[in-house]
Structure 1
Amino acid sequence: MIDTDLLLEKGATYRHTEAGEIIFNEGAQATFYYQLVSGKVRWSHFDDNGKEVLHKIVEAGEAFGELPLFDGEPYGASAVADSPCTLLRLSTTSFHELLAEHPDIHLAFTKSMVSHLRFKVFLLNALAKNNPQTALVELIDYFNRHGKLICQDCNRLMVTRQQLANMVGLRVETVIRAIKQLQQEDKLCIVKGKVFVPADGV
């Protein structure tokens, strides 16, 4: 989202994480702006029983955990490295200075937050239909239309069945059954356990 050289000029530093490492916890105060250079990060809430509600999978080039930098409130979810990651982090003070110096970047963040909000509304509408297969079709189609979490070269879905379940609040067994049904309807293709999406959508 922000040019790497610009971040480094403002004092950003690199951080490397291992898969499963917690980058920040829900409820903590935000002290850095984070931007992912490589790898994937899960932005999730965990209930008292350890069940994960997956809000977003952050991909390389995207920012995460930025909302508290605008309202001063604690993190609403935790960030967990889904794979070995390299990220850039910039202090909150320097981040605010950067926004003041570059109104175009500030506007880009506004658009990004609107996009996140629209996705949440979309997901709520899909789940309100109370049909797991419909919810999955609409979610995968959303990924396809927005170029998210689907390999642009081979059309492979880049999330696991468990992650899909965590996104839509379903049991993984329900997601597996729904995916098999979609395969029988020729809406998805499964090869060696990997899910592939038709180029023209599900």
Structure 2
Amino acid sequence: MIDIDVLLSYNGFVKEFDKDQMIVEQGEEPKYYYQIIQGKVKMNNYNEEGKEFIQGMFGEGESFGEPPLFMEIGYPANAITLVNSKIVLIKKEDFFLLLEQEKTSCFGVFKALSSRLYYKSIMAPDISSNDSYKRILTLLHYLKNQSAVEEGREFLVELTRQQIADLTGLRVETVIRTIKEIECRKQLRIERGKLYI
């Protein structure tokens, strides 16, 4: 994403967050650009029945929550740490100045936003489908393709069954049953509870 030294040179600062700490709340006005140095963050919201839906999960080197900065609207989801995390924050005004003056960084942000838009577009047809098999397989293949794993090598899926359910809009029981079906079809491997695709 953006080099940490570049962020710091534009008045960025590092902040530490505890596990399960709220970073931004749905509806809150965006004031900062966030980039993870260490840790993991999920963006989530809840439907009318109170079921969690994970909009995205972000790890080391990734940023989150940029679209509201550009659109000047409130955050559509919460951002919460999944583990203790170190995050670089930079004020919106300083971030915009950085993008104007640092072409490489600007294209890095465009690339990250494009990747997320692509993910949403490939997941949208499957989320609206009742086919849990297809929903889960599409998610797992997307995660593998986004990783740096070499062609033909196995990819460790670092998500719990609950997180897969929250990312696909399925019940956890459905995810467990469907993953077993995918394993039976030899499209993934389960070892000690871990998924490899």
Is the pair's TM-score, using the shorter chain for normalization, greater than 0.5? yes
Q: Cα deviations across residues 107-154 of structure 1 (Å, max 9, x unaligned)?
A: 3322322221111110012234421011111211111122189xxx96
Structure 1 unpaired stretches of 5+ = 198-202
Q: Find the counterpart in structure 1 of residue 38 from structure 2.
A: 38
Q: Find the counterpart in structure 1 of residue 2 from structure 2.
A: 2
Deviation, structure 1 residue 48: 4.9
Q: Secondary structure at the match of 2:34?
A: strand
1:117-196 aligned within 5 A: 117-147=117-147, 155-196=155-196
Tell me the TM-score normalised to structure 2 length: 0.91
1:22-171 aligned within 5 A: 22-147=22-147, 155-171=155-171
Distance 1:128 1:51, change over 3 A: closer
Task: State the AA in 2 paired with 1:42.
Answer: K
Tell me the TM-score normalised to structure 1 length: 0.89
Point out the more displaced range, 130-139 or 24-33: 130-139
Q: Secondary structure at the match of 2:97?
A: helix
Point out the more displaced range, 55-64 or 110-119: 110-119
Instruction: State the alpha-carbon separation in 2 of the partners of residues 146 and 6 from structure 1.
Output: 25
Instruction: State the alpha-carbon separation in 2 of the partners of residues 156 and 117 from structure 1.
Output: 23
Instruction: State the alpha-carbon separation in 2 of the partners of residues 19 and 187 from structure 1.
Output: 33
Instruction: State the alpha-carbon separation in 2 of the partners of residues 174 and 48 from structure 1.
Output: 20
Moved over 3 A (4+): 47-50
Deviation, structure 1 residue 193: 1.5
Instruction: State the alpha-carbon separation in 1 of the partners of residues 131 and 50 from structure 2.
Output: 25
Instruction: State the alpha-carbon separation in 2 of the partners of residues 49 and 55 from structure 1.
Output: 17
Instruction: State the alpha-carbon separation in 1 of the partners of residues 48 and 148 from structure 2.
Output: 30
Q: Cα deviations across residues 50-73 of structure 1 (Å, max 9, x unaligned)?
A: 421111110100111111211111
The aligned length equals 194
Q: Secondary structure at the match of 2:156?
A: coil
